Amino acid sequence: MFTGIITDVGTVTKLEQEGDLRARIQTRYDTSSIDMGASIASDGVCLTVVGLGDDWYEVQISAETVAKTNLGQHWTEGRRVNLERALKVGDELGGHIVSGHVDGVAEIIEMKDEGDSTRVTLRAPEDLARFIAPKGSVALNGTSLTVNDVNGCDFGINFIPHTKEVTTWGDAKLGDLVNLEIDTLARYVARLNEM
């Protein structure tokens, strides 16, 4: 489990297709404190550590994960990625409960500056749009964000300067595809309403 509070921005330094996709991510994390098999959310995708070095870790990414996320389309060597290590008992829950199980991909369809912040409108897949509510939470590329408004499949969020500085959101541009994880609570409420 994660909170959607990004604690490092890493860089993809190596990609190899060897059955599954294998990625090396350079990080500022103290890798001596990372166990083999640990989970690290990388652009919001919960990935398992399968290799470690002084300032990097490696993960294996299944074809299913590549198909359901933006990793296959956007991950290239040199790409910056949002990172978060898994929660430990007693950690502060600053964002919202995030599983790292991406539900789909949303597209940035509009961006405009409002004061020092940037307002971004995204289009969610139709089957996920019903789970997104004004003032609810979503995780986008692993970042816990509050939804401002919803209009059909489109929803808006704001990025304050701090978020743009400490995540990859300062690099965002029109047409970007981003990993979308809907709020777990919204998923369960919708399921209960179906019964």
CATH classification at residue 53:
2.40.30.20
CA pair distance 77, 58, nearest whole angstrom = 13
**What is the count of structural domains for the chain?**
2
Are the C-beta atoms of 27 and 117 separated by less than 8 Å?
A: no
Confirm whether 98 is domain-assigned. no
Confirm whether 141 is domain-assigned. yes
Query: Is the pTM higher than 0.85?
Result: yes
pLDDT single digits (tens) 27-83: 999 999 999 999 999 999 999 999 999 999 999 999 999 999 999 888 999 999 999
pLDDT of 189 > 90? The answer is no
Q: Would you state the pLDDT for residue 135?
A: 94
Specify the DSSP class assigned to residue 19.
Answer: S
On whether both 41 and 76 belong to a single domain, the answer is: yes
Give the structural domain span for 134: 104-194
Are the C-beta atoms of 124 and 132 separated by less than 8 Å?
A: yes
Say which amino acid occupies 73: Q
127: pLDDT confidence band, cut at 50, 70 and 90?
very high
Task: State mean pLDDT over 172-194.
Answer: 85
Q: Would you state the pLDDT for residue 193?
A: 75
CA pair distance 136, 139, nearest whole angstrom = 11
> Shortest CA distance to 31 belongs to which of 59, 55, 8?
55
Confirm whether 99 is domain-assigned. no
On whether both 77 and 149 belong to a single domain, the answer is: no
pLDDT single digits (tens) 151-181: 999 999 999 999 999 999 999 999 999 999 9
Show the tokens assigned to 87: 């929660």
